[in-house]
């Protein structure tokens, strides 16, 4: 199994915290060092045993670990990539951001002919935020997409894959562009449409409304509680692909509206049936 | 507690079956008689003890019970209402359909100055269909809307309310029109937008797509497995209100798209934040 002397985790939110828990549980690192902008998060991470120690000196962290995980919000990653490229491009590094093309392009720009950065995206997000939302074994059976940059060293790609496999994940290697195109429809569009749905409900003023919300509504809109800062970032970072799928979605909504206005029950039933058969087929797929 | 000699249930799907289970468990009826168009359903209902006996003679059933529950798909209810109005308008009767205005209008048309029909809608639907999807205690803490018709006898309204309260439900009395307006946004619009979302995914041909579906997508589209025949009926029966909310939804989607195209992260974040705060507030409400 892959083992490191010192793993550094910058960003101790739900994902960074969950990674720390598993690294410790599985004995993957001799030492886990956490970094975060918030002193209160660092204190909690130490007190609750997520990490062995914490630091606010990122430059020093980058020089002293043998595996670095960037688990901060996507926008902040760029600044760490610059420091990394300038000070220690041979450090095995990955990230956990939901949008990969922007990051990989930045890596292609900052880094030289051979480097040890490899992008990752564990598909294990949650509407629960922060270190308190961390879970042990979060990645077991979850998909983790690994996206190399143009000049990622092949040995680095293998190491990053081994790391996620050690955490129990199913690893899929994918080009950053393809990843973003797929995630735009499998994750980002659902979030966008759910936000719009919750906003529609929000404008209805009726005292009985709350009493009429069933479990269907609650489950369907659970992702409507996801962190607004993070999701504004994700939407904008993946705008290009998201707008393509949004246009497709609007056409399908229009088709449904036409069938509604047409009132031909058989046509509507047949259309819905195809959708239901497809949706049911997804449950069996891995 | 409300007790009946003989309860008749026409339609032994998920709701009819779940009602039968609770009526038996709680001893609400001396005898439960089930009716269904399918012989196989009748057999299963008898063999698994959902009902004491079954019949295919609806006319006789309507003459011999003291409480009748119409748990068939909505479109079929109309024909039973006609038989009921002609043969036994004084029989305490309710239904379980998700759209109420059409049914109540039919009742207003068919029935005389005083009758014992009172509409119900237990908000306890599921994407799991048929008798096999029935659950004991399904209605505990669930909302059941009770909608009287113009000439429903007040004593009948009280009896129907008592019945649902006996099953553990929270009972809300509401005008059929108001019910349909609210359910159009709390349940029917979510189903419509989820069907459109699943259909959008369906058109994406990529071998990695299935691997990139997280629990967020699965939960958000669980209602996309709901019975297409039933939902085509519901959408068309509540078309008027549904189209109003759909227009509102499309405006909100447009607003999100504008914010995406505008790329001003702060504006988008602020907009999403208001939605998230609202969605979180719904979890605490009953």
Q: Average pLDDT of chain A?
A: 95
pLDDT tens figures, A209-259: 999 998 889 999 999 999 999 999 999 999 999 999 999 999 999 999 999
Burial class (CB in 10 A: 0-12, 13-18, 19+), A53: exposed
ipTM of predicted complex:
0.91
Whole-number pLDDT of residue B112:
84
A196 near B CB under 8 A: yes
Residues of A in Cβ contact (< 8 Å) with B279: 198, 221, 224-225
| Domain layout of chain A by residue ranges | 4-174, 179-283
* pLDDT confidence of residue B286: 59
Q: What is the pTM of this model?
A: 0.92
Cβ neighbours of residue A115 under 8 Å, at least 6 residues apart?
A85, A89, A90, A107, A149, A151, A152, A153, A156
The shortest CB-CB distance from A185 to any of B192, B204, B274 is to: B204
Q: What is the pLDDT of residues B128-157, one digit of tens each?
A: 888 999 999 999 999 999 999 999 999 999
- The pLDDT of residue B227 is 92
pLDDT tier at A127, thresholds 50, 70, 90: confident
| Token pair for A42 | 């660092």
Contacts of A109 (CB under 8 A, 6+ apart): none
Under 8 Å between Cβ of B75 and B233: yes
Compare CB distances from A248 to B198, B200, B243 and report the shortest one's residue: B200
- DSSP letter (8 states) at residue B162: H
Within 8 A of A214 by CB-CB distance, chain B residues are 123-125, 142-143, 186-187
Averaged pLDDT for residues A167-186: 97
Can you give the pLDDT at residue B64?
95
Average pLDDT over residues A4-32: 97
Which stretches of chain B drop beneath a pLDDT of 70? 286
Average of per-residue pLDDT across A154-179:
97
> Hey, what are B63's tokens?
């003459």
DSSP bridge partners of B33? B8, B53
Beta strands (DSSP E) in chain B are: 4-10, 29-35, 53-55, 67-70, 93-95, 118-122, 143-148, 170-173
pLDDT value at A2 more than 90: no
Q: Would you place residue A75 in the very low, low, confident or very high pLDDT band (cuts 50, 70, 90)?
A: confident
Token couple for A108: 């292609």
Q: Is A281 on the interface with B (CB under 8 A)?
A: no
User: Looking at residue A286, what is its pLDDT?
Assistant: 59
- Three-state DSSP at B31 gives strand
When scoring B133, B146, B186 by the number of chain A Cβ atoms within 10 A, the one with the most, hence best to mutate, is B186
Does the domain formed by A4-174 have CATH 3.40.630.10? Answer: no
Tell me the β-bridge partners of A173.
A146
Q: Note whether B196 contacts A233, CB cutoff 8 Å.
A: no
Nearest to A189 among B200, B208, B252 (CB): B200
Pair B62, B2: CB distance under 8 Å = no
Taking only the tens place, the pLDDT of each residue in B73-116 is: 888 999 999 999 999 999 999 999 999 999 999 999 999 889 99
The C-alpha atoms of residue B8 and residue B5 are separated, in whole angstroms, by 10
Name the CATH topology of B179-283.
Answer: 6-phosphogluconate dehydrogenase C-terminal fold (1.10.3660)
- Cβ within 8 Å, pair A212-B172: yes
């Amino acid at each position: 199994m892959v083992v490191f002397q010192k793993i550094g985790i910058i960003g101790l939110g739900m994902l960074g915290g969950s990674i720390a828990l598993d690294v410790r549980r599985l004995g993957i690192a001799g030492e886990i060092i956490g970094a975060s902008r918030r002193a209160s998060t660092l204190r909690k991470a130490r007190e609750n045993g997520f990490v062995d120690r914490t630091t606010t000196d990122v430059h020093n962290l980058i020089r002293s670990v043998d595996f670095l995980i960037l688990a901060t919000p996507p926008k902040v990653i760029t600044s760490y990539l610059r420091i990394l490229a300038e000070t220690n491009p041979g450090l095995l590094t990955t990230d956990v951001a939901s949008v990969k093309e922007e990051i990989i392009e930045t890596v292609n720009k900052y880094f030289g002919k051979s480097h040890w950065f490899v992008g990752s995206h564990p598909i294990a997000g949650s509407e629960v935020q922060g270190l308190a939302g961390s879970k042990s074994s979060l990645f077991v059976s979850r998909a983790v997409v690994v996206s190399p940059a143009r000049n990622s060293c092949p040995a680095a790609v293998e190491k990053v894959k081994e790391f996620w496999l050690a955490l129990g994940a199913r690893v899929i290697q994918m080009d950053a562009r393809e990843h973003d195109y797929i995630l735009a429809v499998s994750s980002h569009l659902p979030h966008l449409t759910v936000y719009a749905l919750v906003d529609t409900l929000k404008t209805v003023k009726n005292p009985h409304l709350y009493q009429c919300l069933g479990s269907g509504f609650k489950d369907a809109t659970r992702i409507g509680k996801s962190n607004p800062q993070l999701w504004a970032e994700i939407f904008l970072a993946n705008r290009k692909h998201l707008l393509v799928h949004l246009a497709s979605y609007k056409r399908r909504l229009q088709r449904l509206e036409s069938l509604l206005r047409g009132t031909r029950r058989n046509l509507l039933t047949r259309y819905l049936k195809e959708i239901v058969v497809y949706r049911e087929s997804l449950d069996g797929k891995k």
